[in-house]
């Protein structure tokens, strides 16, 4: 996606439902196949929750020339500052090289600044050389985090150590040794037997706010309400769970299915946050949550899970590596827009 400094400036507008077919066609020309299901869900999500989504389009001679899809981030994995995630940017093949992609990105940056957001975040495979060049020209840098992935079928939830608190990036974890490596295959089932894991329900909101407040040291009700509303509104996209110990909600996992950010060839589940109440740090809550998540994803025929962790969060990295996560071939990028 080359950029030309002298490109004519076309008018940027908000993406609309009528653009669906044109967006699907452009996306198919980039991905090599139609991803209508993914695109349609992204556009519908923006209509239902406009405060979360930012989507722009550019027309040329009355037809769609390019588009960008983005999402506002508030508190995934303990994030304390808001950010905006660039999900997809596409330009019609005959319009490439005219600066349309950069113009769309500038519109996104202007929207971020208006909202008081200081950075854009995104990710892509290092093998996608076209988007790598675009990010380089646009001023993106590598983000201070690691993207980890795990095969659902190969995931080994038989970790010897489990963090006491698994959610925010800046917290420390307490080691918990329970079973040796020779008992690894039994650990997953035992964790689920000890902890009652259920799908997220509307009545769980107060408990999630409580747990998040205990972890973060501050109230984030608006952020949790948004996640819960999204989970309940579209269960095919959100795959979120709660865990109970002795009838009390002791932890939660917020995850979503992702069908196509920047050229993914297969759907994956993205784990946004997993939080365990400090009072239940040694009850295998995190293991039970991830174990049940993997079971549910297998039923949905989703074969991989992905998550984002700061590089200095050694405890959380150690826990995830121990249950089968590995470094992804995707890289995280960020750009300051202040």
Asked whether the predicted pLDDT for residue 77 surpasses 50, the reply is no
- On whether both 155 and 296 belong to a single domain, the answer is yes
Q: Are 201 and 208 in contact (CB under 8 A)?
A: no
| In a shared domain, residues 250 and 294 | yes
CB neighbours (10 Å) of residue 80?
A: 12
Do 36 and 172 lie in one domain? The reply is no
Last residue of a domain, one of 96, 117, 138: 117
Instruction: Give, as one character, the DSSP assignment of residue 185.
Output: H
Say which residues have a Cβ less than 8 Å from residue 106's Cβ, sequence separation at least 6: none
Q: How many domains does the chain have?
A: 2
Question: Is 2 inside a domain boundary?
Answer: no
The answer to whether residue 302 sits within a structural domain is yes
Task: Please indicate, yes or no, whether the overall pTM of this predicted structure exceeds 0.85.
Answer: no
Burial of 302 (0-12, 13-18, 19+ CB in 10 A): buried
168 and 94 part of one domain = no
Q: Scanning the structure block, which residue is given the tokens 């969060």? A: 313
Strand partners, 149: 306, 326
Q: Of 40-49, 90-99, 166-175, 317-326, which gets the smallest average pLDDT?
A: 166-175
Query: Given pLDDT bands bounded at 50, 70 and 90, which one contains residue 95?
Result: very high
Task: Give every CB contact of residue 162 below 8 A, 6+ residues apart in sequence.
Answer: 176, 178, 284, 286, 287, 319
Q: Examine the domain organization and report whether 151 and 227 are in the same domain.
A: yes
Percentage of the chain exceeding pLDDT 70: 79
Does any domain span residue 272?
yes
Same domain for 89 and 153? Answer: no
Q: Which two tokens stand for residue 135?
A: 């990010």
Domain co-membership, 45 together with 108: yes
Q: Is the pLDDT of residue 69 over 90?
A: yes
- Encode pLDDT of 37-46 as tens digits: 888 888 888 8
Q: What percent of the chain has pLDDT over 90?
A: 40
Q: What's the CATH code of the domain at 192? A: 3.40.630.30
Q: How confident is the model at residue 79 (pLDDT cuts 50, 70, 90)?
A: low
Domain span at residue 110 reads 12-117
Confirm whether 335 is domain-assigned: no
Domain identity same for 111 and 159: no
Identify the weakest region by mean pLDDT among 57-61, 162-166, 259-263: 162-166
- pLDDT per residue over 147-158, tens digit each? 999 998 655 564
- What pLDDT does residue 211 have? 93
- Same domain, yes or no: 195 and 253: yes
Instruction: Classify residue 140: in a domain, yes or no.
Output: no
Residue 271 and residue 151 share a domain: yes
Among 65, 96, 117, the domain-final residue is: 117
Together in a domain, 253 and 195: yes
DSSP labels, 117-162: --EEEEEEETT-HHHHHHHHHHT-EE-SEEEEEEETTT-----S--
**Band (72; pLDDT cuts 50, 70, 90):** confident
Answer whether residue 5 is part of any domain.
no
In terms of domains, do 26 and 98 share one? yes
* Residue scoring higher pLDDT (52 or 203): 203
What residues contact residue 58 under an 8 Å CB cut-off, 6+ apart? 10, 11, 12, 13, 64, 65, 66, 67, 100, 103, 104
Instruction: Determine, yes or no, domain membership for 49.
Output: yes
pLDDT computed for residue 301 by the predictor: 83
Query: Residue 4 domain-assigned?
Result: no
Q: What is the pLDDT of residues 210-264, one digit of tens each?
A: 998 988 888 888 888 888 887 887 655 668 999 999 999 999 998 888 765 555 6
Report whether 158 contacts 188 (CB < 8 A).
yes
């Amino acid at each position: 996606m080359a950029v030309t400094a002298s490109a004519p400036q076309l008018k940027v507008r908000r993406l609309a439902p009528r653009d669906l077919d044109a967006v699907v066609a452009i996306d198919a020309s980039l991905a090599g196949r139609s991803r209508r299901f993914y695109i349609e869900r992204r556009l519908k999500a923006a209509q239902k929750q406009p405060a979360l989504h930012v989507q722009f389009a550019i027309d040329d001679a009355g037809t769609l020339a390019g588009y960008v899809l983005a999402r506002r981030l508030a508190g995934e994995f303990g994030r304390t500052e808001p950010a905006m995630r660039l999900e997809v940017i596409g330009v019609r093949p005959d319009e490439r090289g005219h600066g349309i992609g950069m113009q769309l990105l500038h519109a996104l940056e202007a929207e971020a600044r208006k909202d008081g957001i200081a950075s854009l975040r995104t990710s892509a495979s290092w093998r996608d050389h076209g988007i790598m060049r675009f990010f380089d020209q646009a001023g993106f840098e590598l983000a201070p985090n690691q993207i980890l992935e795990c095969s659902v079928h190969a995931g080994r939830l038989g970790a010897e150590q489990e963090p006491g608190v698994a959610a925010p990036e800046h917290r420390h974890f307490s080691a918990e040794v329970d079973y040796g490596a020779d008992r690894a295959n039994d650990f997953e089932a035992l964790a689920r037997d000890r902890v009652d894991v259920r799908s997220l329900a509307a009545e769980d909101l107060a408990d999630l706010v409580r747990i998040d407040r205990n972890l973060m040291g501050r109230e984030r009700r608006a952020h949790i309400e948004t996640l819960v509303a999204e989970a309940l509104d579209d269960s095919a996209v959100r795959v979120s769970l709660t865990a109970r110990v002795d009838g009390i909600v002791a932890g939660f996992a917020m995850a979503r299915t992702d069908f196509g950010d920047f050229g993914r060839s297969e759907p994956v589940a993205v784990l946004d946050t997993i939080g365990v109440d400090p009072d239940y740090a040694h009850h295998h809550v995190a293991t039970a949550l991830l174990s049940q998540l993997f079971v549910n994803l297998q039923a949905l025929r989703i074969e991989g899970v992905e998550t984002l962790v700061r590089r200095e969060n050694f405890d959380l990295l150690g826990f995830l590596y121990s249950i089968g996560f590995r470094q992804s071939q995707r890289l995280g990028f960020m750009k300051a827009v202040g």
